[in-house]
Amino acid sequence: MSDIDVLVIGAGIHGVGVAQAAAAAGYSVLVLEKNGIAAGTSSKSSKLIHGGLRYLESAQFSLVRKSLKERSILCRLAPSIVKLQPFYIPIYKNTTRRPLHIRIGLSLYALLGGLRKENLFKSVRRKEVKKLDQLEQAELQKVYQYNDGQTNDVQLTKAVMSSAESLGAELYCPATVISVVKNDNGFNVTYQDDDKEQHIQAKIVVNAAGPWVNELHKLVDSNVDAEKTESLDVDLVQGTHIIIDTSAPSGIYYLEAADQRAVFVMPYEINGELKTMIGTTEKLFHGKADDVKPTTEEVDYLLSVYKSYFPKQKNITIVHQFAGLRVLPKDDGSMFSRPRDTVLHWAMPGLLTLYGGKLTAYRSTSESVIKKIKPFLDNRRRIAHTDQLYLSFTDLAETDMRVT
């Protein structure tokens, strides 16, 4: 049985981000992943690196400010993976968010982004509006344009894991955790790898299992008196996307659905061709996280939103659809108003669990994790800083995922 400073469970964007940050801080790191890099929620996102304009309505100003800062960092570190795209917000006579409302929101967005050139917005001229991807023109009052980031979430996650490996982190995949036992020296973790039970002793365990975080807690036991695992109450919220066999739009459309939710219509590459992706939904999920899949109701909802804004598009064919799960704090209020930032929770001393979070802010979240776990670890010499580590995508074959 070998020893490790930090054991990370889960190779989604937050798991690999923690691995990169911990390795950069000089710690020995191992990531255990049961399926594959970005196999869960991190491959089922809206593929956006954005500040979260809509979170201004729920007064999540600090999250927006942080996300805009992180977007700027990622555009610099990963220019081949994260790119700014034009976003369009059309405003009609019957949309609830009026032009002044949107203008104030975009002004605040720009202000929180430091009034940098890339964070400014403009009103699209009427003659240019008529050229926008067959957008419905009847009762169209205004179109605003601003910039935000788009990414390939799988490529980004793999790039971060590759960076972590270059700093000395290791990844075992597929590796299924069987038990996590607290002892006087940290945790004795048993996992299955190549049909064999393996053991490793870790000083710190970081639970980055996404929708499976509380399921992982059920595998935890303690040999230390009076210590037990404490889980937070959360809701799993399903988000579905569909890809249609329609040429990609010239930008990303931020649309208001009939229920006032935000729905995005954006370019998406599938099988080497640029098509149109529409998403996402927000539906409470009940059941096992492994069983999530799009529902007919969600697909019809997304098609309805799309057709209301692009009625000239006929013979729409769905070529792909997928669903992922967000982890949100349990609350009686609307899903829209709930905090979207990551919650870092000590499930027990030495076992830190990550609940929720945004793709955009993974790096900042990972640095916060290092600050949390540092008091439990010996001093190490830092070997790099994550805001200076360039990211590039190299596809990893399944057979190459286990690095020893």
* Cα distance between residue 328 and residue 224, in whole Å: 31
Give me the torsion for CA of 58, 62, 66, 67, rounded to 10°: 0
For domain 234-329, the question of CATH label 3.30.9.10 is answered with yes
CATH class of this structure's domain 2-42+154-233+339-389: alpha beta
pLDDT digits (tens, 9 = 90+) for 333-366: 666 556 667 899 999 999 999 999 899 999 999 9
Q: How far apart are CA 181 and CA 202, in angstroms?
A: 10
Neighbouring-strand partners of residue 86 = 147
- Beta strands 220-222 and 176-183, pairing class: parallel
d(CA 46, CA 57): 20
- Give the CA-trace dihedral at 383, 12, 371, 180, to 10 degrees: -110
Express each pLDDT in 201-246 by its tens digit: 999 999 999 999 999 999 998 766 657 889 999 999 999 999 999 9
Domain boundaries defined on the chain: 2-42+154-233+339-389, 234-329
Task: Check whether 1 has a pLDDT greater than 70.
Answer: no
Q: pTM, whole model, 2 decimals?
A: 0.93
- Tens of pLDDT, residues 150-170: 999 999 999 999 999 999 999
